[in-house]
């Protein structure tokens, strides 16, 4: 038996690799299987932090080929790493350095299968790029709200659903999980579950699709999905708001929701340290106001009716009180984009500045200011001079909270020696506020071990029970999540 965690004599492995590649080619075609050097890019993640080994990278063209590949792997006890656009930030989409595994890349399965404008649904194969799905919706005068501006040209629907992706419009439309009506999944034994229903109501038992959404490829392979579409917004108004502090931003969001309801489609908070990095590393960006502020918010209203959104936004901001220091409003897309560039360029600017210890946490929206105050105080006390880069999806209670030392030489030693202590301080604040240490990017390899200290043991036990029931051989994306 070829257990994926058992050491194999070299010759046996070589023969097995040859036999397996031969059989895989018979399923996916010679041009549907890569080995050796050409396979290498699929074995390293987007940030170059995780690299592993795969016997082969397989590119099936349809669900049947996925099912046959999975059956072959199950018969040979070979593990499978499902892969979409390989933009995972937690090492979820690449193989481990050890073990016998293949990468199963869905990119060839990129057909839009159907658009039903009256049902407000679109059925797509898992390898469709997110940007193509959004474009197709627009061609049909509909809107698909999942938007990952930095990666949507690369990431794929199968990957988006498997990570339950977020983005800036979650506040109004929900996560990827909320945007799906049905799924088709190849199970770890190779059977195909056709749950491609496009029903808005179906109370005929457990809602199985939610097991596979957010499972990071550990329970099966998503091969197609029925996605929810929405009316296409025709009018937008965007505001850049200087707020006194995070607490004022929390109250402002609550105030705007009461005044403008579901028209609020985004509410992002940005700290001074983010702005400084963006101005330093991104040409053509500049302060949104004449004075410098410690915290700004970029928020957007959108509506299908050509409503006077800017007036509604102005009235709401004016009536808020002294937590708002100053604000500016526009309905001009180019003008708004200048503010959005401040938000969109933070990650890239931070990358250019150097390494940092990144966190992607969530707490109840009402506790965000509390989280920032507690974590800031703990870190500044333990590591005087520390740089805290806090920003993110305030409307979802999701803050990206990245830690480094401003001095490059000092930073290297700091990261090497203090990552564990920094994580403990940040995650303690998260736990005290009933939050999650992984709000958006998943667990993958990065947080697989850490989660054991922060998730309820009963929840972990139930997760293991589900994993065991669906994947008793443990072949689906081993070493990730659990």
Ligand X SMILES: Cc1cc2nc3c(=O)[nH]c(=O)nc-3n(C[C@H](O)[C@H](O)[C@H](O)COP(=O)(O)OP(=O)(O)OC[C@H]3O[C@@H](n4cnc5c(N)ncnc54)[C@H](O)[C@@H]3O)c2cc1C
The DSSP-derived string for 414-461 is HHHHHHHHHHHHHHHHHHHTT-BSBSSS--TTTTTTTHHHHS-HHHHH
CB-wise, 288 or 392, nearer to ligand X? 392
Residues 336-365 that bind ligand X (CB under 6 A): 347
Residue placing its CB nearer to ligand X in the complex, 20 or 186 = 186
* Contact between 87 and ligand X per CB under 6 A: yes
Nearer to ligand X, 24 or 81 (CB): 81
Of 215, 212, 143, the closest CA to residue 184 belongs to 212
User: What is the number of the residue whose Cβ is closest to ligand X?
Assistant: 159
Alpha-carbon distance of 20 to 35, in angstroms, equals: 11
Choose which of 20, 89, 213, 361 interacts with ligand X (CB under 6 A).
89
User: Could you tell me which of 401, 400, 371 has the C-alpha nearest to residue 386?
Assistant: 401
Question: What track of x and - describes contact with ligand X for positions 203 through 242 (by CB under 6 A)?
Answer: -------------xx---xx--------------------
**Residue 436 binds ligand X, judged by CB under 6 A:** no
Stretch that binds ligand X, among 68-76, 154-162, 335-343, 424-432 (CB under 6 A): 154-162
Q: Is 474 in the site for ligand X (CB under 6 A)?
A: no
First to last CA, the chain: 23
Of 56-64, 145-153, 296-304, 310-318, the segment contacting ligand X by CB under 6 A is 145-153
By CB under 6 A, is residue 115 in contact with ligand X?
A: no
- Residue linked to tokens 């707490």: 363
Give yes or no for residue 83 binding ligand X (CB under 6 A).
Answer: yes
Asked if residue 470 binds ligand X (CB under 6 A), the reply is: no
Residue nearer to ligand X on the CB measure, 236 or 268 = 268
Quick check: 167 binds ligand X (CB under 6 A)? Answer: yes
What sign results for the dihedral spanned by CA atoms 474, 477, 478, 482?
A: negative
Closest distance of CB 108 from ligand X, Å: 12
Residue 166 near ligand X by CB under 6 A: yes
**H helical segments located in 266-367:** 272-281, 309-318, 333-344, 346-353
| 3-state class (DSSP) for residue 463 | helix
SS3 state of residue 238: strand
Q: Is 156 in the site for ligand X (CB under 6 A)?
A: yes
Given a contact cutoff of 8 angstroms between Cβ atoms, the answer to whether 94 and 45 are in contact is yes
Q: Are 115 and 136 in contact (CB under 8 A)?
A: yes
CA distance 167 to 173: 10
Residue ranges in contact with ligand X by CB under 6 A? 46, 81-89, 92-93, 106, 126, 148, 150-151, 155-156, 158-160, 162-163, 165-167, 216-217, 221-222, 347, 440-441, 444, 477, 480
């Amino acid at each position: 038996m070829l257990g994926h965690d058992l050491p194999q004599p070299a010759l046996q492995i070589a023969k097995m690799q040859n036999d397996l590649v031969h059989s895989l080619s018979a399923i996916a075609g010679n041009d549907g299987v890569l080995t050796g050097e050409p396979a290498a890019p699929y074995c390293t993640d987007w940030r170059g932090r995780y690299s592993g080994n795969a016997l082969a990278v397989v590119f099936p063209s349809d669900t049947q080929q996925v099912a046959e590949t999975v059956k072959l792997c199950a018969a040979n006890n070979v593990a499978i790493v499902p892969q979409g656009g390989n933009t995972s930030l937690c090492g979820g989409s690449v193989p481990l350095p050890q073990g016998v595994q293949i990468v199963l890349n869905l990119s060839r399965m990129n057909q839009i299968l159907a658009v039903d404008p009256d049902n407000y649904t679109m059925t797509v194969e898992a390898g469709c790029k997110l940007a193509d799905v959004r474009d197709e919706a627009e061609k049909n005068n509909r809107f698909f709200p999942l938007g990952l501006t930095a990666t949507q040209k690369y990431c794929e629907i199968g990957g988006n659903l498997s990570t339950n992706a977020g983005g800036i419009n979650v506040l109004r439309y929900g996560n990827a999980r909320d945007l799906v009506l049905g799924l088709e999944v190849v199970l770890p034994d190779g059977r195909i579950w056709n749950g491609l229903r496009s029903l808005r109501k179906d109370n005929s038992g457990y809602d199985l699709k939610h097991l596979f959404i957010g499972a990071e490829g550990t329970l099966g392979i998503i091969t197609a999905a029925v996605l929810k579409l929405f009316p296409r917004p025709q009018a937008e108004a965007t505001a850049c708001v200087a707020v006194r502090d995070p607490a004022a931003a929390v109250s402002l969001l609550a105030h705007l929701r009461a005044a403008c309801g579901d028209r609020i489609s985004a509410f992002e908070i940005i700290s001074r340290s983010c702005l400084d990095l963006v101005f330093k590393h991104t040409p053509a960006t500049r302060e949104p106001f004449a004075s410098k502020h410690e915290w700004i918010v970029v928020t957007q209203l959108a509506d299908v009716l050509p409503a006077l959104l800017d007036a509604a936004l102005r009235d709401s901001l004016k009536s808020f009180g002294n937590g708002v220091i100053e604000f500016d409003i526009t309905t001009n897309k180019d003008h708004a984009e200048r503010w959005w560039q401040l938000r969109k360029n933070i990650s890239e600017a931070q990358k250019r500045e150097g390494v940092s210890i990144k966190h992607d946490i969530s707490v109840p929206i009402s506790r965000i200011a509390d989280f920032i105050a507690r974590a800031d105080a703990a870190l500044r006390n333990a590591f005087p001079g520390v740089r805290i880069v806090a920003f993110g999806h305030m409307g979802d209670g999701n803050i990206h909270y990245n830690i480094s030392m401003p001095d490059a030489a000092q930073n290297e030693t700091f990261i090497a020696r203090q990552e564990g202590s920094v994580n403990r301080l940040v995650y303690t604040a998260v736990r005290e506020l009933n939050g999650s240490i992984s709000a958006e990017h998943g667990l993958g390899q990065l947080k697989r071990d850490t989660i054991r200290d922060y998730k309820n043991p009963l929840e972990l036990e139930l997760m293991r029970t589900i994993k065991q029931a669906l994947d008793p051989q443990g072949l689906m994306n081993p070493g990730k999540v659990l």
